[in-house]
Amino acid sequence: MSDDLPEMRASDAERERIADVLRDALADGRLDLDEFQERLDSAYRARTRGELVPLVRDLPQHGEGDAAGKTGQLAKTGGQQNAPGPSLRKGRRWAERIGGTATSRWGLGVMGGFGRKGGWTVPRVFTGVGIMGGGELDLREARFEGRDVVIRCFTLMGGVSVTVPPGLGVEVRGIGIMGGFDSSADGLGDPDAPRVVITGLSVMGGISVVRKLPREEKRALRMERRERRELERRQRREERGLGRRPPRGGHGGPHGGHR
pTM: 0.58
By the 10 Å C-beta count (0-12 exposed, 13-18 middle, 19+ buried), 223 is classed as exposed
What does R_g of the chain's alpha carbons equal in angstroms?
A: 25
For 199, residues 6+ apart whose C-beta sits below 8 A from its C-beta are 150, 151, 152, 153, 172, 173, 174
User: What gap in Å lies between CA 67 and CA 233, rounded to an integer?
Assistant: 26
Confidence of residue 65 (pLDDT cuts 50, 70, 90): very low
pLDDT in tens, 147-192: 999 999 999 999 999 999 888 889 998 898 988 888 878 887 788 8
Are 5 and 52 in contact by the 8 Å Cβ rule? The answer is: no
Q: Which of 16-30, 107-121, 145-159, 184-198 has the lowest mean pLDDT?
A: 16-30
| Predicted pLDDT at 77 | 37
